[in-house]
Amino acid sequence: MKKSQFLIFVAIFVQLGVWAQVPQLFNYQGVARDGSGTPLASRSISIKATILDGSATGTVAYSESQSITTNQFGLFTMAIGSGTVLSGTFTGIVWSTGSKYLKIEIDPNGGTTYSITGTTELLSVPYALFAGQSGTGSGTSQWVNNATGINYNSGNVGIGTSQPGHTLEIVDNETNGYTGWADKRHLLRVQNLNSGNFSNAAAIITAGPVGTASGLSLGHSAPTYYHNPDVSSIFNIEGKGLNIGTWGATPAPITFATGTPDSCKMIINGDGKIGIGTTSPVSWLNIEKNVSGGDRVFLRLENTSNANSALVANHILAGTNDNSNNLELISTAQSYFPTTTPGSGFGIVRSGKLALMAWGSDAYPTSLISFYTGGSPSNPTASLERMRIDQNGLVGIGTDVPKTKLHVSGGDVYIDDSTKGIVMKSPDGQCWRITVASTGTLSSTSIACP
């Protein structure tokens, strides 16, 4: 019976997945020939592949069979690791220890009577399989299991842990203080070495099928970046939503710090209260600072339009949001079209009622309402009190110590309508209007009491 010969002309190609799980197979090609060297063209053959440990006659680590059809040149390709298992497991091969040999047996008739045998040493261990293995060998590869190395376990990669519970898990125990970029507490670093005007680096986190456009981007731009250079950013690409939150049985705050890591500039407490300048806000928006001078402006609303309808307003509402009980604090631009109100600040009460109240406290029981005009940011002392309503309801104009219900000091009371005057009530309950005649004499006219 004529025997076939088998010639390996392409050895091994390794398939490597960089971030995904490493495929548990490798490619193999060969040419099947008969005893005279003629290729077994377009022929269905059976191949038995065996991985031997240590030598050409060593222990069988793994064995499988496959049915293959050659092409017109007798060429065949097979993925070792994907056949019918005859012995062992492909994932159980310890690539990191000892030499490995590949034994190929062929039945040219497609059965299980393997008539020829060829054995060759795998001089280069399939490195992707070596790297992906969770073995305990002592080779030089960084994928060998050890307490602080890189480990592979059931599809998970662990750095610093031999039992990773996630696709990629990095574990370390560093307690040193901040030492800049050399700080070993930085467990992961992503860097783009390019210094062009479009250079930045980002890590994108996304969910959904392959090709999903949106995702969370954590990035940093190079000092040469054309827009916002040397800036770190967090945003959702493709214009989708961005949620920032804390979860837990006990509501936890979100803090925002600038300067030093411990310098909190803003906080959102677990109950939703926002504090700026304070870490203990007592209202829904609490702005707090100990300053003097120009920095005393804690909140600024500005409309930069110069159109004749330009104004800026702050609406304060209680009850349902239908503007029926709404206080508007408004400032108009210098170009505002009603000629009587350009560059003015005023309030509008939608309900038709406006209350100005000054409440005292146990520490300061005296309360009053004062009205000031004059002065400017560069000359604030020129602003003077023009009118006051004290805690007893006495109104003083030109005086801060009113002695009657209306006390005018340092000026006149002017009535320009000669038919109007001062209305007074006599002891008998009748009301009289006091006016002045053209001769300067006073006269009184009985009127209905207001």
Closest CA to 81 of 61, 104, 63: 63
The dihedral of CA 349, 351, 352, 355: what is its sign? negative
pLDDT of amino acid 336: 75
pLDDT of amino acid 13: 37
pLDDT of amino acid 315: 80
Query: How many angstroms separate the CA atoms of 385 and 107, rounded?
Result: 111
pLDDT of amino acid 319: 74
Query: How many angstroms separate the CA atoms of 115 and 6, rounded?
Result: 11
pLDDT of amino acid 287: 93
Phi, psi of 4 (to 5 degrees): -95, 155
Q: What are 440's strand-pairing partners?
A: none
For residues 118 and 8, the answer to whether their CB atoms sit within 8 Å is yes
Query: How many angstroms separate the CA atoms of 325 and 319, rounded?
Result: 8
Helix-strand-coil percent breakdown of the chain, rounded to 5? 5, 35, 60
pLDDT of amino acid 25: 81
Which CA distances in Å does 93 have to 62, 113, 254, 276? Answer: 7, 26, 50, 61
**Amino acid found at 63:** S
Q: Which residue has the tokens 């006051």?
A: 388
pLDDT of amino acid 280: 92
For residues 157 and 164, the answer to whether their CB atoms sit within 8 Å is yes
Set out the domains of the chain in order of their start, with CATH numbers: 5-132 (2.60.40), 136-174 (no CATH), 311-349 (no CATH), 369-414 (no CATH), 416-450 (no CATH)
Query: How many angstroms separate the CA atoms of 5 and 42, rounded?
Result: 16
pLDDT of amino acid 69: 94
The strand pair at 84-88 and 406-408 is best described as unpaired
Query: How many angstroms separate the CA atoms of 239 and 281, rounded?
Result: 32
Residue pLDDT tens, the chain, 450 long: 444 444 433 333 333 333 334 557 888 888 888 777 888 899 999 999 999 999 999 999 999 999 999 999 899 999 999 999 999 988 888 877 788 999 999 999 999 998 867 888 887 655 455 554 544 444 444 455 555 577 777 778 888 887 888 888 888 887 766 666 667 777 888 888 988 888 888 888 888 876 677 788 888 888 898 888 988 888 887 777 888 888 878 889 999 888 866 688 999 999 999 999 999 999 999 999 888 776 788 888 899 988 888 888 888 887 766 666 677 788 887 777 765 566 666 666 666 677 788 887 777 778 889 998 888 777 878 889 999 999 899 999 999 999 999 999 999 999 999 999 999 999 999 999 999 999 999 999 999 998
Closest CA to 49 of 33, 74, 36, 30: 30
Using alpha carbons only, how large is the chain's radius of gyration in Å? Answer: 44
Q: Which residue has the tokens 């019918």?
A: 84
